[in-house]
Amino acid sequence: MARFTRIQVAQTMHEQGMVPLFYHANVELGKQALAACYRGGARLLEFTNRGDFAHEVFAELNKYALRELPGMMLGAGSVADAGTAALFIQLGATFIVSPSLREDVALTCNRRKILYSPGCGSLTEIGRAEELGCEIVKLFPGDLYGPNFIKAIQGPQPWTSIMPTGGVSPTKENLTGWFGAGAVCVGMGSQLISSDILKNGDFDKLETRVREALALIKKIRQA
């Protein structure tokens, strides 16, 4: 059962401004990556469902977070159907993310009051997602749409909260473009938690990257 309400999760996404995301099949390596993000200041992270037995890895990471990382909210990404969503929710996921809008997933999450962030690529999809109770919609793949898409959506729908994922990097130019256009937060994967960091076990570097990215987002927002 999720230890945080979807309102708390949405607020944390807003406040943090960034959702780090990654997948790795090795539980111990995953724990180190999770802890590095936590030390860097992240209090919310998406573990993507991209490999066999990913749910088993997620279960161990979530137990670790609950035991060792107070306040850490762990969610599951790349969730494509209601059954998979229910499985991760049973393992304590505090939010669910999917690459496309899935109404069956929305209903499953709503029954358990879990935040659901679906991938959307049109105003119609965004509108339907909001009708289904989605607080924050994911713009995916973000690099194909660009910041101007968010800016255009904010005109007729200033209440819409959008999280671009894909093509987001921890640079001033990139992040200024997204937040300047009205993004509420960004999803950041390999540009933040790179394969080299995971391969080499350079978790001090990851901690520094997360800390610097969060500080940069805060500075951009204040400006």
Average pLDDT over residues 188-215: 96
Residue 63 falls in the annotated catalytic set: no
Q: Model confidence over 106-123: pLDDT tens digits? A: 999 999 999 999 999 999
Q: Is the pTM of this model over 0.95?
A: yes
E strands along 16-64, which residues?
Answer: 18-22, 44-48
**Is 1 a member of any domain?**
no
**Is 223 a member of any domain?**
no
158: pLDDT strictly greater than 90: yes
Q: Which of 46, 60, 199, 205 is catalytic?
A: 46
Residues 6+ apart with CB under 8 A from 199: none
Q: How confident is the model at residue 1 (pLDDT cuts 50, 70, 90)?
A: confident
Residue 136 has what pLDDT?
98
Residue 220 has what pLDDT?
98
Residue 138 falls in the annotated catalytic set: yes
Q: Which of 31, 56, 60, 138 is catalytic?
A: 138
Residue 31 has what pLDDT?
98
**Is 72 a member of any domain?**
yes
202: pLDDT strictly greater than 80: yes
2: pLDDT strictly greater than 90: no
Residue 86 has what pLDDT?
98
Residue 105 has what pLDDT?
98
Q: Model confidence over 45-73: pLDDT tens digits? A: 999 999 999 999 999 999 999 999 999 99
What is the domain-level CATH number for residue 138?
Answer: 3.20.20.70
Average pLDDT over residues 216-222: 97
E strand or H helix that includes residue 34: helix 27-39
**Is 42 a member of any domain?**
yes
Quote helix, strand, coil % in the chain, to nearest 5.
Answer: 50, 15, 35
Residue 223 has what pLDDT?
87
Give the integer Cα–Cα distance in Å for 48 and 16. 19
**Is 188 a member of any domain?**
yes
Find the largest Cα–Cα distance for the chain: 46
For residue 136, give the DSSP letter: S
Percent of the chain with pLDDT over 90: 98
**Is 195 a member of any domain?**
yes
**Is 120 a member of any domain?**
yes
Question: Exposed, middle or buried: residue 77 (CB in 10 Å: 0-12, 13-18, 19+)?
Answer: buried
Average pLDDT over residues 126-153: 96
Residues 6+ apart with CB under 8 A from 63: 92
**Residue type present at position 155:** G
**Is 20 a member of any domain?**
yes
29: pLDDT strictly greater than 90: yes
Q: How many domains does the chain have?
A: 1
Average pLDDT over residues 64-87: 98
User: Which residues span the domain enclosing 50?
Assistant: 6-218
Residue 40 has what pLDDT?
98
